[in-house]
Amino acid sequence: MDNLVCVSDFESQASKILSRNALDYYKSGAGQQTTLQNNKTAFTKLRIRPRFLTNVSNRDLSTTILGEKISIPIGISPTAMQRMAHPGGECSNAKAAESFNTIFTLSTIATSSIEEIAEAAPHGLKWFQLYIYIDRNVTLNLIRRAEKAGFKAIALTVDTPMFGLRLADVRNKFTLPPHLKFANFEGEKSTKINTTQDGSGLNNYVEKLFDTSLTWDDVKWLKSVTNLPVVIKGILTAEDAKIAVDIGVEGIWVSNHGARQVDGVPASIEALPEIVKAVEGKVEVYLDGGVTDGTDVFKALALGAKMVFIGRPTLWGLACNGEEGVKKILEILRKEFDFALALTGCSSVVDIKKEMVVHESYYAKI
């Protein structure tokens, strides 16, 4: 891995290692993938306004999320079916996050179970990403297992009444490799994805089992059945952010699901400012989508995110070298973010101010 020095290096190498089925699943977005491209290009339209002649000899990259101190404002997003990338899968990812003292988020449709993650990373800070199933007993069982296993928050994904139209998965008739299953389930719910003959097996699975009738009342229900903090993942508008705050959620996760739901929605970083403004500091705000460099982390924090989460980069790390590959990804981003702090006159995350990042149009008047 010595020659892999940035996230794009890992992506290129992973593209040579992964099967077409897995690579296309991990890499693709919805529709014509306009939003997928915008997730990255929107960051390039933001300019950093550095300040100089400040003492940056001692820098602190840590922050506090939902009362827990973490070493860097970079956590790991929930991504499904990680054992397609490496046999260690989600367990390797969780162990890497534990070693960096940051947050790992486990997907409902993971190929490693809640209990396996708890055993692999017993001291790690773990969140559980939740989809609500038609059968509420299934959902409650997941919540109780996460609570028992020491997970610290529930990240409820709200942008998926069904999964988006991902053309690569349709072309590939995507299914899990036959030796893998959804590890949080038994029986049909663990293997049904493997039986499709028509389009994407994942879409067929979701259409049969996920609850498309969800409303904000179901968020209230979730709040009533767990004492864990509830983070709402998938918010892209001020209107929805305000409703979430009124209901009493503890965090809002700005995300377009890796641009995998409906093509044409804003990049996450584009949606972030209006959501930060709408919540008025009442809850923490996080972001994922398009983060591939430490300067992206800096820009997101300047625009009001408390931290960012990364998904695909850790998959590329997994594919290249399992746990050590994910550690290398986290170290690369940590180092890039540290450089961004030092070279803009910041000694800690609290020194990053809103006026330090502007849209490129700011300079058009000059």
- Establish if 257 belongs to a structural domain: yes
Residue 195 pLDDT: 63
Residue 191 reports pLDDT greater than 80? no
- Establish if 363 belongs to a structural domain: no
- Establish if 354 belongs to a structural domain: no
- Establish if 266 belongs to a structural domain: yes
96-154 per-position pLDDT tens digit: 999 999 999 999 999 999 999 999 999 999 999 999 988 899 999 999 999 999 999 99
> What range defines the domain where residue 252 resides?
7-346
Choose, from 86, 123, 257, 359, the residue flagged as catalytic: 257
Q: Find the CATH number of the domain harbouring 79.
A: 3.20.20.70
**200 vs 221, higher pLDDT:** 221
Q: What contacts 132, CB < 8 A, 6 or more positions away?
A: 139, 156, 210, 211, 214, 218, 222
74-88 per-position pLDDT tens digit: 999 999 999 999 999
| Contact between 124 and 95 (Cβ < 8 Å) | yes
| Contact between 222 and 151 (Cβ < 8 Å) | no
Q: Is 123 a known active-site residue?
A: no
- Give the pairing of strands 153-157 and 125-130: parallel
- Establish if 364 belongs to a structural domain: no
Residue 193 reports pLDDT greater than 80? no
> 134 vs 139, 209, 210, 301, CA distance in Å?
8, 6, 6, 37
Residue 175 pLDDT: 87
Residue 194 pLDDT: 67
Residue 196 reports pLDDT greater than 60? no
248-282 per-position pLDDT tens digit: 999 999 999 999 999 999 999 999 999 999 999 99
- Mean pLDDT to the nearest integer, 345-356: 98
C-alpha dihedral (293, 262, 93, 102), degrees to nearest 10: 60
- Establish if 11 belongs to a structural domain: yes
- Establish if 186 belongs to a structural domain: yes
Residue 208 reports pLDDT greater than 80? no
Residue 237 pLDDT: 98
Count the domains in the chain.
Answer: 1
DSSP 8-state secondary structure symbol assigned to residue 210:
B
- Establish if 355 belongs to a structural domain: no
